[in-house]
Amino acid sequence: MKRRLLAALGGAVLAFSLAACGGEGAGGDTDTSGQAPQDLTIGVSMPTQTSERWIADGNSVKEKLEAKGYKVDLQYAGDDIPTQSQQVDQMITRGADVLIIAAIDGTALSSQLQAAADKKIPVIAYDRLIRDSQNVDFYVSFDNFKVGVAQANALLVGLGLQNKDGSKGSKTGPFNIEVFAGSLDDNNAHFFFDGAMQTLKPFLDNGSLVVKSKQTAIEQVAILRWQQETAQKRMEDLLTSTYNDGSKVNGVLSPYDGLSRGIITALQNAGYGPAANPIPVVTGQDAEIASVKLINDGVQGSTIFKDTRLLAEQAVIAAEAFLQEKQPQANDTTTYDNGVKVVPSYLLPVQTVFKDDIKTALIDSGYYTAEEVAAGQAK
């Protein structure tokens, strides 16, 4: 990035500065504002390829940047923190001009971010806030608290305690539910859980909802690295420990489609599914194609659609602003305190998808085709 002072001091000093960068490419201290896109590289660090959404995010960001002529260094870290640290280190060494990072562990990249800051490489936190570091310049995400609120509302609607318009539903309960949260090292997991639990609280307080296991603290219900198998195991354990007296689970708050599928597998293996023993109302997030099919088939209750194409677009807009020496435009400058500073953010809205919404939200918008939904597989 441009150092305004150096530019002002003139060519000789700038030449010295560039020489000092020693073959490290165009990244860091160089002036990017006047450079052609093909001379600029954006490092894109994604957490894992085990979840469809991150593949879609990575592909979207790459395509959009390449369409504008930029070079893209896209890496997936296999949900392994040391791998992500190493990949980000390499991006810096190879001369990235901007970094876009979706962190596995929001607190684990401090030394990489310091290295980026030392070279004046702007860092955009992608979807997951990077915590405990001064060196995060911008955050693009969805309204994560509202995701949790929407998940809780979808659970209430599915159980009949509430109507879609928020009015009182025809059922009164009491219903047995269990709650799950995401990975504790992901800042979003806390926002989702807080939004959901605040929404469910009045129903828990008046007894129309009962968490029969009594496990309601995020530490008790979190699923490390958002692993489907871990969620399946926890649901199996809950069925054995809490529902072996003939009582039934009526609903499950699940924060992510992958977890939802693990939970549904555990429930089906325990005999839930037939009309006489209906599958509980299970929520989700990300509109993963396998879950959209389950929703279409009446197995999963709902998901929260977050259009990764729009998120990718915002990340590209922010990256371009930095490359042009401008500050990207934020629409939230108060919510996302990363422990050191409030990171200026651009937050996108989210949409609840029940079976009836699949066509309008996902097919008509071109996110999936009707064939993909029917097959439960994206091409």
Q: State CA 212 to chain mean position distance.
A: 29
Contacting residues for 81 by C-beta, under 8 A, at least 6 apart = 104, 105, 108
Q: Which of 147, 131, 128 is nearest to 139 (CA)?
A: 128
Q: Which of residues 97-156 bind ligand BGC (CB under 6 A)?
A: 127-128
Q: Which of residues 183-202 bind ligand BGC (CB under 6 A)?
A: 186, 188
If the CB atoms of residues 32 and 144 are measured against ligand BGC, the closer one turns out to be: 144
Per-residue string for binding with ligand BGC, 203-242, x by CB under 6 A? -----------------------x----------------
Provide the minimum distance between the beta carbon of 43 and ligand BGC in the complex, in angstroms, as a whole number.
19
Q: Which of 300, 274, 280, 265 is nearest to 159 (CA)?
A: 280
If the CB atoms of residues 209 and 361 are measured against ligand BGC, the closer one turns out to be: 361
If the CB atoms of residues 279 and 347 are measured against ligand BGC, the closer one turns out to be: 347
**Bridge partners of residue 227, in order along the sequence:** none
Provide the minimum distance between the beta carbon of 186 and ligand BGC in the complex, in angstroms, as a whole number.
5
Q: Which of 289, 310, 301, 296 is nearest to 264 (CA)?
A: 301
If the CB atoms of residues 307 and 320 are measured against ligand BGC, the closer one turns out to be: 307
CA 379 to CA 369: how far, in whole Å? 9
Q: Which of 366, 264, 266 is nearest to 308 (CA)?
A: 366
If the CB atoms of residues 162 and 285 are measured against ligand BGC, the closer one turns out to be: 285
Classify residue 61 by burial, with Cβ atoms within 10 Å: 0-12, 13-18, 19+. buried
Provide the minimum distance between the beta carbon of 8 and ligand BGC in the complex, in angstroms, as a whole number.
41
Contact range with ligand BGC by CB under 6 A, out of 182-190, 194-202, 271-279, 332-340: 182-190
If the CB atoms of residues 178 and 286 are measured against ligand BGC, the closer one turns out to be: 286
Provide the minimum distance between the beta carbon of 262 and ligand BGC in the complex, in angstroms, as a whole number.
13
Number of residues that bind ligand BGC (CB under 6 A): 12
Query: Alpha helices, DSSP H only, in the chain?
Result: 4-9, 11-20, 52-67, 81-93, 110-118, 144-159, 187-205, 218-221, 228-242, 257-269, 289-296, 308-323, 370-375
If the CB atoms of residues 123 and 231 are measured against ligand BGC, the closer one turns out to be: 231
Provide the minimum distance between the beta carbon of 350 and ligand BGC in the complex, in angstroms, as a whole number.
9
**Bridge partners of residue 139, in order along the sequence:** 125, 345
Q: Is position 307 an interface residue for ligand BGC (rule: CB under 6 A)?
A: no
Residue 196 tokens, joined: 């959901």
Q: Is position 256 an interface residue for ligand BGC (rule: CB under 6 A)?
A: yes
Q: Are the C-beta atoms of 222 and 182 separated by less than 8 Å? A: yes
Provide the minimum distance between the beta carbon of 149 and ligand BGC in the complex, in angstroms, as a whole number.
15
Provide the minimum distance between the beta carbon of 68 and ligand BGC in the complex, in angstroms, as a whole number.
25
Provide the minimum distance between the beta carbon of 129 and ligand BGC in the complex, in angstroms, as a whole number.
9
For residue 347, give Cα distances in angstroms to 130, 136, 151, 353.
Answer: 15, 16, 18, 19
Provide the minimum distance between the beta carbon of 128 and ligand BGC in the complex, in angstroms, as a whole number.
5
Contact range with ligand BGC by CB under 6 A, out of 131-139, 148-156, 181-189, 314-322: 181-189
* Residue closest to ligand BGC when measured from CB atoms: 256
The Cβ-side half-sphere exposure at 222, using a 13 Å CA radius, reads 17
Residue 38 tokens, joined: 């093909």
Q: How far apart are the first and last CA of the chain?
A: 38
Q: Is position 285 an interface residue for ligand BGC (rule: CB under 6 A)?
A: yes
Binder among 52, 73, 143, 286 for ligand BGC (CB under 6 A): 286
CA 184 to CA 196: how far, in whole Å? 16
Provide the minimum distance between the beta carbon of 306 and ligand BGC in the complex, in angstroms, as a whole number.
6
If the CB atoms of residues 73 and 307 are measured against ligand BGC, the closer one turns out to be: 307
Phi and psi of 344, rounded to 5°? -60, 135
- For binding to ligand BGC (CB under 6 A), which residues are involved? 51, 53, 127-128, 182, 186, 188, 226, 256, 285-286, 306
